[in-house]
Structure 1
Amino acid sequence: MLLPTLLDIEASGFGRGSYPIEIGLARGDGSRCAFLIQPAEDWGHWDPKAELLHGISRARLMREGHPALEVARWLNGELAEIGIAYSDSWGYDNTWLSLLFDQAGMLPRFRLESLRRLLSEEQLTCWNETKQALIEEHGIRRHRAGDDAYLLQLTYVTSRQRCG
């Protein structure tokens, strides 16, 4: 079974001035990957509370992050053929994705849609309970983009099986 591709983004904080710091994908074949993003020169916002959640320091991003252009090219390479990825936080993730592509001077060759578009009413009803059970069952580390994308994909599959 080919699964929907799920995308998750971790950020420097929420709201005005925040920017993407990590993008993760759970691919249709069940594999996953993630990239840290090196902040652009004019991306100065940093929320220590966000860092406490994801555990990624700005210094680490400067050392290990990839430039926006490289990450945007990678995303287009991964997603252009299927043309779509899904997110559970579409409002935030779409804004950060737009910022990334703007910084790279590129246009995305795919669209980001809300994961809710794929979910039945039954799935929505049992989503949070299913997700929490999977976190505990699989020992999934939260607030890292690759792991969160995988968790969304796993919750999607499990909620379809258990809840309809």
Structure 2
Amino acid sequence: MLDIEASGFGRGSYPIEVGIARGDGSGCALLIQPRRDWTHWDPQAERLHGISRERLEREGHPVIQVARWLNDELGGLEKVYSDSWGFDNTWLSLLFHHAGMLPAFRLETLRLLLSEEQQALWYPTREALMAQHGIQRHRAGDDARLLQLTYAHTRALTAWR
């Protein structure tokens, strides 16, 4: 699973954090250092994810380093899944474009994996897991982990039916 946090939504927005959750349940996230020409900043988005532009400039990793890391981590997989494919795919494409690289994996929408029964259980299961594991929303690593946990739990619940 993959999740991306961004500077905002719409034209001019760019990725600021990318997180992954691996099949074994482990995960990782990296902050992304904004390029000089990435100037869009939405204060509402900052209130959601809690990451300041100053922190990104100080602690973020260069675009090319993040793209290489993603290819190293996910290159052996044919597909990687996101619950917000439209946004995440756009930001992922922007990241790789500015790194001068192509992704070694394909991002797909999570809905392709979910049965109707899983979709019906998704939101209540996600809310219960957030409370149980103390997961903070709108941080890429935690959101990717939450996707992974919710998928696994809804799959297990529907397997018994």
Q: TM-score range by the shorter chain?
A: over 0.9
> How many positions carry a matched residue from both structures?
159
Q: Which amino acid aligns with 2:59?
A: E
**Structure 2 length-normalised TM:** 0.97
> After TM superposition, where is structure 1 displaced by more than 2 Å over at least 4 residues in a row?
none
> Which of residues 80, 85, 93 is equivalent to 2:80?
85
Q: Unpaired segments of 5 or more residues in structure 1? A: 1-5
Question: Identity percentage over the alignment?
Answer: 70
**Structure 1 length-normalised TM:** 0.95
Asked if residue 146 in structure 1 is aligned to residue 141 in structure 2, the reply is yes
> Which of residues 14, 22, 27 is equivalent to 1:19?
14
Structure 1 residues 32-111: aligned runs within 5 Å: 32-111=27-106
Deviation per CA, 1:91-149, whole angstroms, max 9, x where unpaired?
Answer: 00000000000110111111000011100000001101110111111111111000000
Q: Which amino acid aligns with 1:38?
A: Q
Equivalent residue, structure 1, for 2:131: 136
Give how far 1:161 is off.
Answer: 1.6
Secondary structure of the equivalent of 1:30?
coil
Deviation per CA, 1:34-79, whole angstroms, max 9, x where unpaired?
Answer: 0000001110000000000000000000000000000000001111
Equivalent residue, structure 2, for 1:3: none
Find the aligned partners of 2:158 and 2:23 in 1 and give their Cα distance: 21
Secondary structure of the equivalent of 1:98?
helix
Find the aligned partners of 1:131 and 1:27 in 2 and give their Cα distance: 18
Find the aligned partners of 2:68 and 2:42 in 1 and give their Cα distance: 27
Aligned Cα RMSD in Å? 0.7
